[in-house]
Amino acid sequence: MSANLTALATFSPLYQQIKAMLLASLQAGEWQPGEVIPSEFELAARYEVSQGTVRKAIDELTAQNLLIRKQGKGTFVATHHEERQQFRFLRLAPDGGQAMVLKNHFLSCKKMKAPAFITQVLKIKAGESLIEIERVQTFAGKAIVFEQIWLPSLRFKTLNLATLQAWAGPLYALYESTFATHMVRAEEKIKAVASDAMSAERLNLQLGAPILLVERVSYSYGNKPVEMRLARYETSTQHYENTLS
Amino acid sequence: MSANLTALATFSPLYQQIKAMLLASLQAGEWQPGEVIPSEFELAARYEVSQGTVRKAIDELTAQNLLIRKQGKGTFVATHHEERQQFRFLRLAPDGGQAMVLKNHFLSCKKMKAPAFITQVLKIKAGESLIEIERVQTFAGKAIVFEQIWLPSLRFKTLNLATLQAWAGPLYALYESTFATHMVRAEEKIKAVASDAMSAERLNLQLGAPILLVERVSYSYGNKPVEMRLARYETSTQHYENTLS
DNA sequence: CAGTGGTCTAGACCACTTC
DNA sequence: AAGTGGTCTAGACCACTGC
């Protein structure tokens, strides 16, 4: 209310506080992915603010893809099970046209001790146990993507090769369904490299053929890094797409 | 007002119409990049709507980086001369750390007839005249980027090598200052390829060394494609960064 | 102090969904 | 018809800038 002094209490507008509380509820799992959250008027009553203020908080959360509005129905927690969300994290497209549906081939799923470069990224203890998944993805019978995926064993205790092979759909949807983990954001670092022996074999390329090397770190609520991937894309007939604005 | 029928007039909310009118003014050059636009109340009076409606229109334009709000000062037309905007279209970062400032080396600037693959992308007539620019960018003395840039001669009539070499700052700022062209958006398609003779020479690499090949098409107001680039990035000590959300 | 954008409210009405 | 999000308004007040 006061705070005329030199910004002692780091003033933040009401709708930002509401947004923070909504985020806390999402993180705590009060509303699960795919579920409706209470209506704007209910939330306004709960937080004792006007509907317009709740609305502005929800506006920002929908802009970040954490919530999805559906007129007449309500506001829903975003989920990777949703049709529209399937391609949110896939930037690969065939040179001719639209998005591509890739076929999964899981090669392995093993426990391992986390190497240093992963512990740093995932902010876990040195030597903590990880699950390492190897996957190849094909399009029209041709291997396009080979990736290694690392997850903390603690959170993904029961994950195994059989589960993966039985799963149809995006990995992130599996994480939601089975491990109560919703991915919110990812950061990628991309390089062009000469394929090493393993990548060349998996992608049926000549040793040294140029491939895209994509390092991805995915974050759940609260900026928590949960998954790290090292992906190799074969880009002779497809490319990585990006829009700058 | 009516429109109970099966959507004859493609109803659009007031603030969308305001947004369209603001866009038209931007495109027509009524307010130049870097200038203030009229205050929300002035615009509300002009369009005979409430200030809140204008506000919502401006909200969307700022979200698209077309306008920039500055509390207490006004709302400004976005410009590539702005400090903050310098790195908007540069996704290259050194493996260690933050954004990198690259040094320009313009190699050539020549007129040429547009090949088919460019006429399609830039939507110009077959055989129309283009300007082709070749540029190398260095960081800490090392060549990092080699690119070819194509612009329609019509719009960029007076552009020449001397002008380019005298220019300090982003190309897009030059386009604004001298050619009344503001770039709004760009789309990139990225591949890993083996460097050809020309690229290898420009980047001091061995022939065949893997490089990132980035095709970029940049758009001005009204989704008008204006510039096409083919860039090669050397990514042994830096990478292309991207955030997915 | 006046002018700008930023927040917040309260209420009216529209558009879409569901029963 | 009732409930949801979506639009629009009018007015009050806050925060920042510059004269």
Q: Are residues A19 and A98 in the same domain?
A: no
**pLDDT above 90 covers what percent of chain B?**
91
Do A112 and A225 have their domain in common?
yes
Contact by Cβ (8 Å): A33, A72: no
Can you tell me the distance from the alpha carbon of A200 to that of A212, in angstroms, rounded to the nearest whole number?
Answer: 12
Q: pLDDT at residue A7 above 50?
A: no
Q: Give the domain-ending residue among B77, B95, B129.
A: B77
The CA distance from B165 to B104, in Å, is 8
Quote the pLDDT of residue B10.
64
> Average pLDDT for residues B215-220, to the nearest whole number?
98
| DSSP-based helix, strand, coil % in chain A, nearest 5 | 30, 35, 35
Predicted pLDDT at B1: 32
- The verdict on A42 and A19 lying in the same domain is yes
CA distance B148 to B228: 8
Q: Nearest-CA residue of chain B relative to A218?
A: B244
- Phi, psi (rounded to 5 degrees) for A25: -65, -40
Distance of CA B218 to the CA centre of its chain: 5
As a dihedral over the C-alpha atoms of residue B135, residue B115, residue B232, residue B186, rounded to 10 degrees, the angle is: 90
CB proximity A61 to B under 8 Å: no
Compute and round to an integer the Cα radius of gyration of chain B.
Answer: 21
Q: Please give residues of chain B from 17 to 56 whose alpha-adjacent beta carbon (CB) lies under 7 Å from any atom of strand D.
A: 49-53, 56
| Protein-proximal nucleotides of chain D (any atom < 7 Å from a CB) | 3-11, 15-18
pLDDT reported for residue B4: 33
Question: Is B236 part of a structural domain of the chain?
Answer: yes
Q: Quick one: which of A186, A172, A15, A188 has its CA closest to A104?
A: A172
Phi/psi of residue A186, each to 5°? -145, 150
A149/A156 Cα distance (integer angstroms): 12
In this prediction, residue A84 has a pLDDT band, given cuts at 50, 70 and 90, of: confident
Q: Which helix (H) or strand (E) holds A229?
A: strand A224-233
Q: Do A212 and B190 touch (CB under 8 A)?
A: yes
**Res A98 pLDDT > 80:** no
Report which secondary-structure segment, H or E, holds B179. Answer: helix B171-179
**Residue B99 pLDDT:** 77
Cβ neighbours around A217 below 10 Å, total: 17
Residue A153, in any domain of the structure: yes
Between CA A28 and CA A32 the distance in angstroms is: 9
Question: Which nucleotides in chain C have some atom under 7 angstroms from a protein Cβ?
Answer: 3-11, 15-18
Q: Do B212 and A190 touch (CB under 8 A)?
A: yes
A10 confidence band (pLDDT: 50, 70, 90):
low
pLDDT of residue A74: 98
Q: Which of B53, B77, B101 is the last residue of a domain?
A: B77
- Residue B68 in domain: yes
Cβ distance B190 to A190 less than 8 Å, yes or no, reads yes
Dihedral angle of Cα A22, A23, A26, A28, to the nearest 10 degrees: -110
Write the CATH number for B36: 1.10.10.10
Task: Determine the average pLDDT of the residues in A87-102.
Answer: 90
Query: Taking a C-beta distance cutoff of 8 angstroms, is the pair A88, A78 a contact?
Result: no
pLDDT given for residue B154 in this prediction: 95
pLDDT in tens, B77-118: 999 999 878 889 999 999 987 778 999 999 999 999 999 999
In a domain, B101, yes or no: yes
Residues B138-146 have a mean pLDDT of 97
Is there a single domain that holds both residue B72 and residue B108?
no
Do B72 and B129 have their domain in common?
Answer: no
pTM score, two decimals?
Answer: 0.93
| pLDDT recorded at residue A85 | 81
Angle at the Cα of B187 (from B174 to B64), degrees rounded to 5?
Answer: 75
Number of domains in chain B: 2
Residue entry with tokens 């007031």: B14
User: Residue-wise over A130-159: b if at least 16 C-beta within 10 A, else e?
Assistant: bbbbbbbbebeeebbbbbbbbbbbebbeeb
Beta strands in A78-120 (DSSP E): 92-94, 103-113
Tally A–B CB contacts below 8 A: 106
Q: Is residue B3 part of a domain?
A: no
Asked if residue A172 and residue A104 are part of one domain, the reply reads: yes
With an 8 Å Cβ cutoff, are B241 and A64 in contact?
Answer: no
Q: How confident is the prediction for chain A on average, in pLDDT?
A: 94
Residue B208: burial class (beta carbons within 10 Å; 0-12, 13-18, 19+): middle
B182 and B203 together in one domain: yes
Please check whether residues B222 and B156 belong to one and the same domain.
yes
Shared domain for A73 and A105, answered yes or no, is: no
Q: Which of B55, B77, B99 is the last residue of a domain?
A: B77
The pLDDT of residue A9 is above 80 = no
Q: Is residue B61 part of a domain?
A: yes
Residue with the two structure tokens 């096409």: B228
Claim to verify: residue B59 and residue B149 sit in the same structural domain: no
Flag if A89 and B244 touch (Cβ within 8 Å).
Answer: yes
Residue of A nearest to B91 (CA): A244
List the single protein residue with the shortest CA to C1' distance from D6: A71
Residue at B231 is within a domain: yes
**Is residue A16 very low, low, confident or very high in pLDDT (cuts 50, 70, 90)?**
very high
pLDDT of residue A117: 94
Q: Which two tokens stand for residue A180?
A: 């109560």
Question: B197 and B98 in one domain?
Answer: yes
Contact of B66 with B82, CB cutoff 8 Å = no
- Tokens 């306008």 label which residue? B67
- Please check whether residue A211 lies inside any domain of the structure: yes
Cβ–Cβ under 8 Å, residues A42 and A22: no
pLDDT single digits (tens) A138-194: 999 999 999 999 999 999 999 999 999 999 999 999 999 999 999 999 999 999 999
In whole angstroms, give the CA distance from residue B173 to residue A17: 39
B106 at A interface, C-beta within 8 A = no
Q: How confident is residue A87, by pLDDT bands cut at 50, 70 and 90?
A: confident
Closest-CA distance of chain B to residue A225, Å: 14
Nearest neighbour of A191 by CB, restricted to B186, B188, B239: B239
Shared domain for A30 and A61, answered yes or no, is yes
Q: Is the pLDDT of residue A88 over 50?
A: yes
Q: What is the CATH number of the domain that holds B98?
A: 3.40.1410.10
The β-bridge partners of B148 are B134, B230
Alpha carbons B245 and B241: distance in angstroms, whole number: 13
Report the pLDDT value the prediction gives residue B2, as an integer from 0 to 100.
Answer: 33
Q: Range of A51's domain?
A: 14-77
> Residues 43-82 of A near strand D (Cβ < 7 Å)?
52, 55, 69-75
